[in-house]
Amino acid sequence: MISGSVAQYNYLEIGSDQGGSLVPILRDPNCARAISVDLRPEKQPDERGISFYYPLDGEARMLDNLQRFLPPDKLDRLTIFGCDIRDVDVADVPNIDLALVDGEHTNTACFSDADRMLDLVKDDSVIAFHDSNLIDDAIQNFERMLARLKIEHSTVLLPDNVGAIGLGRFAKIITDQLGPLSASRSEFFADAQLKRWISVANSIRNRGLLPDRTEELKLEISDLRFQLVEEKRTSEKLQRELEAARRQVGMLLQSTSWKVTAPLRYGAGLFKRTRR
């Protein structure tokens, strides 16, 4: 989309890891410059409640992978910054046409990265977010900020968990080209939130941070079973008493004295109704 709309575009990504996302960009003859920004901390937090650890030689591994798949002249277009995006001087990078946010997968860090991107991208550009299902709050807050700044924009949410926000004239372009592939906005965000909560709950459980209530639950189940047995016994007792009472009533209704006294009962009832 960018390559077909901008001659000699500039690309920047936050979070390059092993360099897989850089290969197709550097292979594209229409790419003028590619910028990799990756702080590469020892470990990185995540919205799923876990931390991801990075190898100390991560950048060297990335370069080794790129050299395996790209000729030297392609690598000449790559500039690497081993720092946070906020520590990159605007004067050191060209104006960016396409940006990818794929660093720390927390809403706080993602929003900070997207906010900084506004200092680096052109008015007409695209900012993409990898694992958009994990940082959906950051995307929605970024949209609100763009609206507050009166920056024309539109968002597409692709099923493979890549979100993209088009700025300026790319607002219409991404809607026209990617809109038919976009997931339902409300369903995407609701599903993302639910799955994130499930991931956090699983993380808490796997890390042993939940108290072990096994014995407590066993006692509760035992008490419930005892109560069930007692209630069953009470029910059976009441059932027997009810059957006995029904038999007594039946015997009374069939007795001679009951039949003989029927006129008296009728007269007594009539007398009561007359007095009323």
For the record, the structure tokens of 130 come out as: 């990898």
Of 216 and 133, the structure prediction assigns the larger pLDDT to 133
Q: Which CATH number fits domain 2-206: 2.60.120.1440, 3.40.190.10, 3.40.50.150, 3.40.50.920?
A: 3.40.50.150
Q: Give dist(CA 216, CA 232) in Å, integer.
A: 24
Q: 36: alpha, beta or left, given left = phi > 0 and alpha = psi -120 to 50? A: beta
Residues 176-191 have a mean pLDDT of: 91
3-state secondary structure of 154: strand
Whether 267 shows a pLDDT value over 70: the answer reads: no
Q: 127: alpha, beta or left, given left = phi > 0 and alpha = psi -120 to 50? A: beta
The residue extents of the domains of the chain are 2-206, 214-275
- Cα distances (Å, whole numbers) of residue 218 to 224, 234, 245: 10, 24, 41
Q: Give dist(CA 122, CA 247) in Å, integer.
A: 94
Q: Give dist(CA 61, CA 54) in Å, integer.
A: 11
Q: Give dist(CA 112, CA 82) in Å, integer.
A: 17
The answer to whether residues 168 and 152 touch, using CB atoms and an 8 Å cutoff, is: yes
pTM score, whole prediction? 0.73
pLDDT at 36: 97
Whether 212 shows a pLDDT value over 70: the answer reads: no
Q: Give dist(CA 109, CA 138) in Å, integer.
A: 8
Under the banding of pLDDT at 50, 70 and 90, the label for residue 165 is very high
Q: What is the pLDDT of residues 134-164, one digit of tens each?
A: 999 999 999 999 999 999 999 999 988 899 9
pLDDT at 37: 97
Residues 182-196 have a mean pLDDT of: 89
